[in-house]
Chain A
Amino acid sequence: MTARAAARLATLDRSLPVWLLAALILVVLMVLPLGWLAWLSVAGERGPTLAHYARVFGDVPLRRAVWNTIVLAFWSGAASVAVGAPLAWLTARTDLPWARALRALTLASFVTPPFLGAFAWVMLAGPNAGLLNRTWRGLTGGEAPLVNIFTMPGLIFVVALYTFPYVYVIIANTLELVASDLEEAGAILGAGRLTVALTITLPLVAPAIASGFVLSVLQALALFGSPAILALPAGFHTITTQIWSFFQYPPKVEMAAAFSMPLLVATALLLWLQRRVLGRRGYAAVGGRGGQRRRIALGAWRYPALAGCLLVMTCSVFLPYGVLAKAAFARAWAQPLTWDNLTLANWTFTFLEYSSTRDAIVNTMELAVLTATAGAVLAALLAYVTNRRLVRGSQALGFLAVAPVVVPGVVFAVALFIAYTRPPLVLYGTLAILFVAYLTKEMPVGYAQSDATFKAIQPDLEEAGRILGAGRLRVLREITAPLARGGIIAAWCFVFIGVIRELSASIILFTPNTKVMSVVMFDLKEEGQFGAIAVLGLFMLAMTLATVAFVQRVAGRDVLGARE
């Protein structure tokens, strides 16, 4: 007995440094930058002061930016749930045709950077030149536009189009786990399809809906690109665009720090609220692995439901990429695509003349692959440790891994900027600072995915391996790793996509030598170079989809987590 304990200790000792290192990385990534942020927000020339807070919150336009952000986040969250939840139910639990295609389209919407979607919608629904409004005027002969995208409702609409996949993923995954027994019992007792859906299925997935809502509110709170493209032209700010403009010369970093705090507090509060609400009730039905799942027949509603789903995909994928494709090949994007208007000049300019293209693509790919690899490995290690409780305080480690969720990208970028533009560690100006930002920002996603993976792997097999005399590392290599492979690769994909579409942190941290594609596209947007943005946007989509498809093929698994 004592010999076995000693042996266990010996194997633990070998792995302990790994866990310690992981913990150290997490602490340094979060604590140092956020500590600096908090300090700078109260730093005065003569000791601590609340002057920055007073200035920030005493200012009427800044308070208006806070209010705008609240409105945007709340309604984007609500709209994302309104779209994502029915879509998830329809594709996961009913006999809706083309469910697989709809899932693929949701993935396409997920990989679309929100700023690219916003940019496409400028061309679609700008009040005068927007193609939809032109068509509308042509049809009705009227003067008034159908939609004006440069408004708060327009902004909410566009944000929701690229946020609903978060809700979709959470609810679809939950629905996959909910057994059909209860629903069938309801049906046997004479309840109609709608009654079953509303009184049985809906309460079962209520926690998932709440999580989806909170997650999409957090996404909308943290967005920079969409408000910069749609709100600024209409003359209003959100917190993120405001923080960014504090960096104009002469920079007011202290004010940016102070103004970051409400965003930080709001995010933390939301997550706390979500835990409280969800923590109170047990949902025994969810998480069970047994049970049958039967598809519900939609009957006469099959095709109207499909039409509804296709409308969503039209708005989030078909129309935006259609107009981007048009702009990529047009001399003048607002004119019809006649022979005269057709050109390859946008492509030759982007790839042959525009000197930032090549570096941006290389930087983006390098960062995405590095971050995804480091993130997936780190997240897998952490999830393994916490799930098998290998070190004392492993729960705290898990908490640290998801903690960055409360830090919006812009805020984290401000924190990193403050922490790493000064000695001893000057990371600003290198790809390393972007790597750190991305890794930290994407860690919660990677960790959540890995955590779910290891939860699903029962320890029986591992224990069998140990009993047969294999060391912990050998068991890890030969039993656990092959089982977890699919889940880890999915985590890799999530992080990869997250990095490709990142703008809010990059816009503050980039330098000329470390431009990434999103930053280059934002630069082009500010100068109104529609053709080049369209080309880069299409290229970015192709690049992302190709990578994800490749990885999925290797892993043999659908990234959005649905089982066939």
Chain B
Amino acid sequence: MRLRPLRTLVALAAACAVVAVPAAEPAFAQNPRVDGAKKEGKVVWYTSLALLSAEKVAKLFEAAYPGVKVEVHRTGSQRILQRVMQELQAGIKIVDVIHTSDAGHFVLLKEKKLLAAYTPAGVERFPAGFKDRDGFHYGLRATVNVIAYNTKVVPAAEAPKTWTDLLDPRWKGKLVTAHPGYSGVTATHVLALVHLLGWDYFKQLAQNRPMIVQSAADPPGVVASGERPVAANGGDYTFYQVKKKGNPVEIVYPREGVPLVVSPTAITVFAPHPSAARLFTDFTFSREVQQVLADSEGLYTGHPDVKYPADKPRLGDLKLLMTDPEELEKRNEEIKGRFVEFFGA
């Protein structure tokens, strides 16, 4: 027992050392932008990437570019937008890089001329769905919404296989859902399923009285603890991480299709640390970091050279439900409003 914490520390240190090596190279190249970033000293990152993953990316960057700190402010996509707008209203300009899972936000931010055009190195080869045609924002990572269940409580044979299976009254009081008023992953999910099944689907789902949590990263914990045995949505990457930690969680990719969530990132037009912001953005799109996102975090990415773990389905093998960012932006109020109307909060 006494060894355990020690081992964790050693493992942590080792992990940091290993990942730091390949990424450390650019730091040695005497490039003016690196010097500029060092002069700025830090980059402020508003991100909806799950906290542990976000802090990991930040630590990788700090190891690769000593002297440039990443200030991680992690919260839900909708909260990030709220923060950015509230701060701007008061004339506060803090944020350098915005990264949320609600592609609609970037339509809005671009329209309001709050984004700086910047094309990260290497994204030419990314698929079209990851790129803004005007060059303001690019998809850093992708996930799909899935169903997941606790294998200790629900036998595999009885687990829900489709979105409509969740409407069965036997799941009453046994479901958990994340909130589109907090999470961009969930807002995207709701829009995709409204297209597939109509609002009536959510009206019926509410009859099963799911527990309502905020972040799409929360249902995995709720399911793992057994507080609710089945998650009605949530990004597959967080379920994957919880499962990899040895929790009794199994992921179901419903055959009607899974809502694809591509999460864009952009630099603000008023960024107080522009060089660091560009350096950091390039870094996050590098093959090394994108590979880390795929490996340890269980995310999908747009990088063509990234290899995925053997126990994750290929994106190409899944039936993907696509959403239009412009529509997501336009129907933002409707999505939140009707969800609250049906679920009560």
B51–A233 touching, CB < 8 Å? no
Task: Report yes or no: A355 in contact with B8, Cβ–Cβ below 8 A.
Answer: no
By the criterion CB–CB under 8 Å, are A511 and B83 in contact?
Answer: yes
A353 in contact with B212 (CB, 8 Å): no
Report if A15 contacts B (CB, 8 A).
no
Contacts of B213 in A (CB 8 A): 233, 526, 528
Given A235-B212, A236-B344, A342-B4, the answer on whether A426 and B90 have CB atoms closer than 8 Å is yes
CB-based contact A232/B71 at 8 Å: no
Given known contacts A235-B344, A339-B4, A428-B92, A527 and B215 CB-to-CB distance under 8 angstroms: yes
Looking at B29-37, B130-138, B193-201, B223-231, the stretch in contact with chain A turns out to be: B223-231
B287 within 8 A of A: no
Give the distance in Å from the alpha carbon of A523 to the alpha carbon of B76 in the complex: 9
Q: Are A355 and B211 in contact (CB under 8 A)?
A: no
Per-position contact with A for B107-133: 1 when CB-CB < 8 Å, else 0?
A: 000000000000000000000000000
Between B83, B212, B333, the greatest number of chain A beta carbons within 10 A of the residue's beta carbon is seen for B212
Say whether, besides A61-B340, A345-B8, A526-B218, A512 and B94 are in contact (CB < 8 Å): yes
Determine whether A157 belongs to the interface, using a CB cutoff of 8 Å to chain B.
no
Contacts of A513 in B (CB 8 A): 94
Complex interface: chain A residues within 8 A of B86 (CB): 247, 251, 421
Q: Which of B32-63 contact A (CB under 8 A)?
A: 44, 46, 50-52, 55, 58-59
Cα–Cα distance between A422 and B173 once the two chains are bound (Å) = 46
Q: Is B74 an interface residue when CB atoms closer than 8 A count as contact?
A: yes
Chain B contacts for A339, CB-based, 8 A: 1, 4
Consensus secondary structure, chain A interface: loop
- Whether A344 pairs with B8 at a CB distance below 8 angstroms is yes
Chain A residues with Cβ under 8 A from B12's Cβ? 348
Q: Indicate whether A248 sits within 8 Å of B1 (C-beta atoms), given known contacts A232-B345, A332-B247, A527-B51.
A: no
Q: Is the CB of B92 within 8 A of A250?
A: no
Q: Is B81 interfacial (CB-CB < 8 Å)?
A: yes
When chains A and B are docked, how far (Å) is the Cα of A511 from the Cα of B91? 12
Q: State whether B91 touches A344 (Cβ < 8 A).
A: no
Contacts of A348 in B (CB 8 A): 8-9, 12
CA–CA, A130 to B59, complex, Å? Answer: 35
Given contacts A150-B211, A250-B333, A527-B50, contact A355 B58 (CB under 8 A): yes
Is A61 a contact of B341 with CB atoms below 8 Å? yes
- Chain A nearest CB, measured from B311 CB (Å): 21
Give every chain A residue within 8 A of B253 (Cβ-Cβ): none
Instruction: Report whether B224 and A332 are in contact in the complex, using a CB–CB cutoff of 8 Å.
Output: yes
Interface size on A, residues (CB 8 A): 51
User: Is A11 an interface position by the 8 A CB rule?
Assistant: no
Is B345 within 8 A of A248, CB to CB?
Answer: no
* Complex contacts, A61 vs chain B, CB 8 Å: 340-341, 344
How many angstroms from the CA of A428 to the CA of B12 in the assembled complex? 38
Chain B residues with CB below 8 A from A236, complex form: 344-345
A129 contacts the other chain (CB 8 A): yes
With most chain B CB atoms within 10 A of its CB, the pick from A233, A354, A356, A429 is A233
Chain A contacts for B226, CB-based, 8 A: 128-129, 334
B209's contact among A232, A235, A251, by CB below 8 Å, is which? Answer: A235
Interface residue SS majority, chain B:
mixed
Q: Which of B59, B74, B181, B227 contacts A248 (CB 8 A)?
A: B181
Task: Output the least CB separation between A57 and chain B (Å).
Answer: 18
A236 and B76 alpha carbons, distance in the complex (Å): 20
Evaluate contact between A527 and B218: CB separation under 8 angstroms.
yes
Shortest CB distance B310–A (Å): 25
**Nearest-neighbor residue (CB-CB) of B223 within chain A:** A129
> How many residue pairs at the A-B interface have CB separations less than 8 Å?
143
**A333 at the binding interface (Cβ < 8 Å):** yes
A524 CB to nearest B CB, Å: 8
Query: Cβ of B300 < 8 Å from any Cβ of A?
Result: no
B222 at the A interface (CB under 8 A): yes
Q: In the complex the two chains form, is B81's CB within 8 Å of A526's CB?
A: no
Which among B87, B217, B221, B340 has the greatest number of chain A C-beta atoms within 10 A?
B221
Binary CB contact string for chain A from 321 to 340 against chain B (1 if under 8 A, 0 otherwise): 00000000001111000010
- 163-195 of chain A: CB within 8 A of chain B: none
Question: Within B231-259, which residues are at the interface with A (CB < 8 Å)?
Answer: 245, 247
Kindly provide the distance from the CB of B156 to the nearest chain A CB, expressed in whole angstroms.
Answer: 20
- Choose among A130, A249, A333 the residue that contacts B82 (Cβ–Cβ < 8 A): A249
Interface set, chain A 279-299, CB cutoff 8 A to B: none
Whole-angstrom CA separation of A249 from B72 in the bound complex:
21
Interface string of A521-557 (1 = CB under 8 A from B): 0011011111000000000000000000000000000
Chain B: CB-nearest residue to A122: B227
Chain B nearest CB, measured from A144 CB (Å): 11
Q: Are A233 and B212 touching (Cβ within 8 A)?
A: yes
- Across-interface contacts of A409 in B (CB, < 8 A): none
B75: which A residues are within 8 A, CB to CB? 523, 526
CB atoms of A429 and B8 under 8 A apart: no
- Residue B291 lies at the interface, judged by CB distance under 8 Å to chain A: no
Residue of A nearest to B78 (CB): A248
- Determine whether B151 belongs to the interface, using a CB cutoff of 8 Å to chain A: no
User: Does B5 sit within 8 A of A, measured CB to CB?
Assistant: yes
Contacts of A250 in B (CB 8 A): 85, 333
Give the shortest distance, in Å, between B114 (CB) and chain A (any CB): 13
A71 to chain B, nearest CB (A): 15
The complex places the Cα of A237 from the Cα of B344 at a distance, in Å, of 8
Q: Are B91 and A426 in contact (CB under 8 A)?
A: yes
Assess whether B336 is interfacial by the CB under 8 Å rule.
Answer: yes
8 Å CB interface, A467-500 against B: none
A355 touches B87 (CB 8 A): no
Q: Is the CB of A247 within 8 A of B94?
A: no
A282 to B: closest C-beta gap in Å: 48
Whether A84 is near chain B, meaning CB under 8 Å from some CB there, is no
A174 → chain B closest CB, angstroms: 40
Known pairs A127-B173, A235-B343, A334-B226 / 9 extra A-B pairs, C-beta < 8 Å: A126-B227, A128-B228, A129-B225, A235-B209, A235-B344, A236-B345, A248-B82, A342-B4, A421-B86
10 example contacts (A-B, Cβ-Cβ < 8 A) are as follows A128-B226, A234-B211, A234-B344, A248-B78, A249-B85, A344-B9, A349-B55, A422-B90, A528-B215, A528-B222
Using a CB–CB distance below 8 Å, which chain A residues touch chain B? 61, 126-130, 150, 231-237, 241, 245, 247-251, 331-334, 339, 342-345, 348-349, 353-356, 421-422, 426, 428-429, 511-513, 523-524, 526-530
